[in-house]
């Protein structure tokens, strides 16, 4: 695949008024395992080439997965034919212009060069550990290398290269089932012994399960659980949706709205975090505070809406929530009783205008009292408004990776609202 060759073809043959070219190349390997056996290894390169063209404000797009001239000619003709017959777009924006892009380091050579035999060895060691524990383990080990380019007629030229390594394990022993996972751009941070020890500790803690009735109670929310809430709240925290009155953040820009212990950034300064240099619109990434000490500083805004409201276009390219120095043991001493949450799932919107979400706990819930973990409890359904929950933060732990593009702390949140028990 030659990105320069593709670009030159479009430059020479495209007769549209404007165009934007996107090229994405992946090399991925995924080793799946289930019930103590490897079940599948998926591997192979993948190429996507997308061309957006426009005549005036009429636009068309086409995507292909090969870069020979016949295929490129087909893509170009298809995109131009669609644009010629498309209606006028009232929100049309010309392609991005030349921009200064930040220097980022998202590509780890060790991850890029990780061999399948090494991945299989990791899986086999996980299986051996599960057998020694008298349990079965399932999951996936994966590594991804992605290289992408964006070019426009108006002069934008960008390249983004990144790697990603992941290893997930779900263990089942008798009636207990729980999970841990690791995801980062750097393979070097992965430690199977550490992750399996955590998995085993979770399984042992969950063996003594007691019935717990839904109620408002303090929770220690670990980073993997917190991340799920942040994704959904962040999706609502959009400048256009808020300006049009569809979210709880309407008319809150520049005002204190979250709890004063809560801040949220996208940052290029955390070496462990993936940080793309630009987004699909060609908006360069920069240091940006979304929420700082409870005050809403910015909201993600695309180019069209930024122009309409005389604002600055910006997008969220990673999540960094600064933490504190409280340990889980110290958090358990701060409240008489509470729950420790490993993960959340099946989160859905209840009321977009108020920001209320519902979802369930997953992979183990522990009950503590008087500073000590007592036993595990059943899974629970919650109805909660995340921005309101930040006003009830009592303490923060150290921030750590929850995914390749997110770094969050453990949070102690008071009066988290559980509304029902669940059986799965």
pLDDT of residue 175: 87
Amino acid 423: pLDDT: 78
Output Rg (C-alpha) for the chain, integer angstroms. Answer: 24
CB atoms within 10 A of CB 65: 11
d(CA 411, CA 343): 13
Q: What is the per-residue pLDDT for 141?
A: 98
Residue stretches of the chain with pLDDT short of 50: none
Query: Six-digit token pair at 176?
Result: 């207990």
Extract the tokens encoding 75.
Answer: 């893509």
Q: Say if residues 51 and 76 touch (Cβ distance below 8 Å).
A: yes
Q: What is the CATH number of domain 3-199?
A: 3.30.2290.10
Give the residue among 236, 261, 263 at the shortest CA–CA distance from 250: 236
Altogether, the residues listed in the chain come to a count of 424
The Cα-based distances of 400 to 164, 265, 322 in angstroms read 17, 14, 9
Long-range contacts of 102-105 (CB under 8 A, 24+ apart): 102/268, 102/275, 102/277, 102/284, 102/285, 102/286, 103/277, 104/160, 104/268, 104/275, 104/276, 104/277, 104/285, 105/271
- Give me the residue spans of the domains in the chain: 3-199, 208-424
Work out the burial of residue 300: count CB atoms within 10 Å of its CB; fewer than 13 is exposed, 13-18 middle, 19 or more buried. buried
Q: Which two tokens stand for residue 146?
A: 């992605």
Cα distances (angstroms) measured from residue 260 to each of 159, 250, 297, 315: 38, 19, 13, 23
The beta strand positions in 153-241, using DSSP E, are: 157-173, 176-184, 209-210, 216-221
Pick left, alpha or beta for residue 251 (phi over 0 → left; psi -120 to 50 → alpha; otherwise beta): left
- Please answer whether residues 390 and 295 qualify as being in contact, where contact means their C-beta atoms are separated by less than 8 angstroms: no
Neighbours of 217 (CB within 10 A): 19
CB atoms within 10 A of CB 100: 5
Whole-number Å distance between alpha carbons of 386 and 389: 5
3-class DSSP state for residue 169?
A: strand
Which segments of 168-222 does DSSP mark as H helices, in order? 192-206
Q: Who contacts 367 (Cβ-Cβ below 8 Å, separation ≥6)?
A: 210, 212, 337, 338, 339, 373, 374, 375, 376, 377
DSSP for residue 82: H
Q: In the prediction, which pLDDT does 424 show?
A: 75
401: closest CA among 224, 193, 205?
224
Q: With H, G, I as helix, E, B as strand and everything else as coil, classify residue 374.
A: strand
Segment (H or E) for 287: none
């Amino acid at each position: 695949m030659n990105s320069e060759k593709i670009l030159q073809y479009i430059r020479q043959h495209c007769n549209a008024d404007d165009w934007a070219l996107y090229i994405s190349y992946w090399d991925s390997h995924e080793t799946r395992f289930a019930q103590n056996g490897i079940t599948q290894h998926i591997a192979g390169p993948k190429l996507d080439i997308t061309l957006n063209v426009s005549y005036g404000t009429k636009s068309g797009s086409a995507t292909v997965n090969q870069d020979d001239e016949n295929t490129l000619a087909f893509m170009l003709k298809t995109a131009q034919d669609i644009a010629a017959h498309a209606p006028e777009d009232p929100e049309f924006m010309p392609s991005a212009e030349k921009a200064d892009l930040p220097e980022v380091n998202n590509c780890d050579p060790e991850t890029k060069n990780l061999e399948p035999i090494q991945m299989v060895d990791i899986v086999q060691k996980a299986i051996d550990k599960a057998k020694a524990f008298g349990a079965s383990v399932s999951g996936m080990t994966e590594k991804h290398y992605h290289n992408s380019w964006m070019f426009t007629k108006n002069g934008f030229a960008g390249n983004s290269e990144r790697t990603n390594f992941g290893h997930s394990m779900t263990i089942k022993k008798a009636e207990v089932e729980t999970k841990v996972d690791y995801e980062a751009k750097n393979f070097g941070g992965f430690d199977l012994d550490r992750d399996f020890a955590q998995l085993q500790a979770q399984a042992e803690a969950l063996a003594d399960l007691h019935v717990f009735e839904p109620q408002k109670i303090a929770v220690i929310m670990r980073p993997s659980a917190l991340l799920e809430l942040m994704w959904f709240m962040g999706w609502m925290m959009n400048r256009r949706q808020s300006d049009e009155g569809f979210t709880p953040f309407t008319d809150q820009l520049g005002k204190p709205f979250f709890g004063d212990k809560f801040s949220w950034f996208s940052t290029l300064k955390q070496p462990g975090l993936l940080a793309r240099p630009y987004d699909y619109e060609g908006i360069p990434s920069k240091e940006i505070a979304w929420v700082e000490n409870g005050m809403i500083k910015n909201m993600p805004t695309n180019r069209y809406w930024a122009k309409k409201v005389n604002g600055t276009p910006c997008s969220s390219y990673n999540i960094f929530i600064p933490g504190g120095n409280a340990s889980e043991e110290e958090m358990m001493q701060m409240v008489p009783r509470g729950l420790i949450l490993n993960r959340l799932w099946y989160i859905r919107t209840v009321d977009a205008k108020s920001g209320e979400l519902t979802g369930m706990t997953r992979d183990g819930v522990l009950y503590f009292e008087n500073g000590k973990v007592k036993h595990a409890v059943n899974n629970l359904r919650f109805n909660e408004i995340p921005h309101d929950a930040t006003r009830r933060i009592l303490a923060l732990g150290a921030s750590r990776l929850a995914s390749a593009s997110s770094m969050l702390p453990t949070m102690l949140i008071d009066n988290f609202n559980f509304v029902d028990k669940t059986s799965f």
